Structure 1
Amino acid sequence: MEREETTRQQKVGRQIQKDLSDIFLKEARSLVQGTIVTVSKVRVSPDLGFAKIYLSVFPFDKSDAILATLQEHAGTLRFELGKRVKNQLRIVPEIAFAIDDSLEYVERIEKLIQEQ
């Protein structure tokens, strides 16, 4: 059973989403290698010590490579995030990345509908 996120978790999640989007746009351009990476959702643990970041990657076929690269550089990305949230959070959460494939799912459904 999944618990409802508190207001604090939601606020921290939104802040992390905003800051990581900015990091991908500016500092981490070399990591995303010409793909479009969007932070679609951030889930934060109740103790604010862990954040799971859901990413949408376009083109879809590069999502596994991008995910592996970002996991490899998670420490650096966490450090950059820490520089931005140091005044809001006492502890910078550990981060883990996951692919949000909802857009790919929608595209597949649309193709199936058009084929009929």
Structure 2
Amino acid sequence: MRKNSVKNARINEAVREELSSIIRNLKDPRIAPMTSVTSAVVATDLKTCKVSVSVLGTEEEKADTMKGLESSRGFIRHELARILNLRNTPELSFALDESIEYGVRMSKLIDDVISKDEEAESGREKEEG
């Protein structure tokens, strides 16, 4: 199976969706409520899976969420095996993904620059008029 095959893409998406559902329903108080799975990349041999997780919160909440996910890794893998019918259930490794937070921050900066430009433009029009 090639790395970018349609079958592998379908498996990645199915694993991502199921992991999102499993993590959302975990009862661990360390896992922040605003935790989402941004991607899951399953190796072609179905032995490993790299899971990118985005956490909306403070640095402490992010660290606690990652600790909670690491300690729940066996349970999450067991639930994934129960739900998905794969030849092998991949070993999970979690990584923090801060791309969503970075995008929000950049969007806010762009909006701030646009509003300052509009204020400067309206100030110039008042001076001329």
Gaps of 5+ in 2: 114-129
> C-alpha displacement at 1:107, in angstroms?
2.2
| Identity of matched residues, % | 27
Q: Structure 1's 13 and 57: CA in aligned 2 closer, same or farther, altered over 3 A?
A: same
2:7 counterpart residue number: 8
Q: Structure 1's 4 and 34: CA in aligned 2 closer, same or farther, altered over 3 A?
A: closer
- Alignment coverage as a number of residue pairs: 111
Confirm or deny that 1:83 pairs with 2:97. no
Residues 67-114 of structure 1, C-alpha deviation per residue, up to 9 Å, x if partnerless? 1220122111111111111xx311101111111111111122134334
Gaps of 5+ in 1: none
Q: Which has the larger radius of gyration?
A: 2
Cα distance in structure 2, aligned partners of 1:41 and 1:34:
18
What is the RMSD computed on CA atoms of the aligned residues? 2.0
Normalising by structure 2, we get a TM-score of: 0.74
**Equivalent residue letter for 1:49:** K
1:71–1:97 Cα contact (<8 Å) kept: yes
**Equivalent residue letter for 1:41:** S
Cα distance in structure 2, aligned partners of 1:90 and 1:33:
29
Any idea what SS the aligned residue of 1:30 has?
coil
2:32–2:62 Cα contact (<8 Å) kept: no
2:30–2:64 Cα contact (<8 Å) kept: no
